[in-house]
Structure 1
């Protein structure tokens, strides 16, 4: 995979629209499989839940894969950079505390995709939570511990 040191600049000018659903993907630096450790994955999930509880977003679906996450949410009382920055920052702090580490482990930036109003959010959520199946990590989604969807 080619390294693009300026790739984080591709999203300069990112637009955040309150009430719109977004699919966010963030990757661990050098694709370290950090979240193979269930305990560390749960610390990240706690940050997803806190953003929802603080009314920054309405969390719709998420999956934490060994080296990245996908998160579908409706933006409420925050911008995309605020939500993702806060989540990555606070999860870094709690995960590093649990690991006895001080290293930065998130890759810079993140990928976002605004969901069009005519798209079926449940279909997008099903795609997200099927990631462990497609990756061959489990044979049944119920066997994978790090996912959730609002419709369940």
Structure 2
């Protein structure tokens, strides 16, 4: 068994990538209302601040700030994934391991997390999140993707609607 190391910093700010098991799936955007409900339920029962988020068809990226004294981001993702999964039918192709764990085969078991270290690191990750639909060829302009906190940033005056204008951003990291 792999030895996964996670960094737990109470009150920390983290970047996450959470992915469906089937990378060809469009389930997250097809069932966006179910995902919003699951996300809202988790945020209500275990509060956290969403600094930025972008939902793509097969994965999502988010930056969260956890409450002081709290580092339980894995439990929050577990809540979101399980609530979302319970609302959908199981995959037709489940192996014995997934059946034993009562998994539906919708999500990859693990997720990627990175603790945000400073303001520059935060800005790079938020830009990466907002530009991701363009990077994946889903839209030509950031403002054209509906499942992103980018629109909140525009409303708050942080970015103009034509931010990044379809030009490649160098975030310094891949997916």
Q: Report the TM-score when normalising by structure 1.
A: 0.77
Instruction: Quote the offset at 1:58 in angstroms.
Output: 0.8
Tell me, yes or no, if structure 1 residue 45 matches structure 2 residue 36.
yes
Gaps of 5+ in 1: 1-5
| Aligned residue number for residue 112 of structure 1 | 113
| Aligned residue number for residue 30 of structure 1 | 22
Give the direction of change, closer, same or farther, for the CA distance of 1:113–1:15 in structure 2 (3 Å limit): same
Q: Secondary structure at the match of 1:84?
A: helix
Gaps of 5+ in 2: 92-103, 157-175
Instruction: Quote the offset at 1:34 in angstroms.
Output: 2.7
C-alpha contact (below 8 Å) 2:7/2:115 kept by paired residues: no
Q: Secondary structure at the match of 1:85?
A: helix
Higher helix share: 1
| Aligned residue number for residue 134 of structure 1 | 135
Poorly superposed stretches of 4+, deviation over 6 Å? none
> More displaced, 131-140 or 118-127?
118-127
Which structure ranks higher in relative contact order (CA pairs < 8 Å, sequence separation ≥ 6)?
1
Higher strand share: 1
Q: Report the TM-score when normalising by structure 2.
A: 0.68
CA RMSD of aligned residues (A): 2.2
Q: Secondary structure at the match of 1:31?
A: coil
Counterpart CA distance in 1 for 2:141 and 2:33 is 20
- Greater gyration radius: 2
> More displaced, 82-91 or 40-49?
40-49
Matches within 5 A, 1:35-114: 35=27, 38-54=29-45, 56-76=47-67, 77=70, 79-94=72-87, 96=88, 101-103=89-91, 104=104, 105-114=106-115
Give the direction of change, closer, same or farther, for the CA distance of 1:20–1:119 in structure 2 (3 Å limit): farther
C-alpha contact (below 8 Å) 1:61/1:128 kept by paired residues: yes
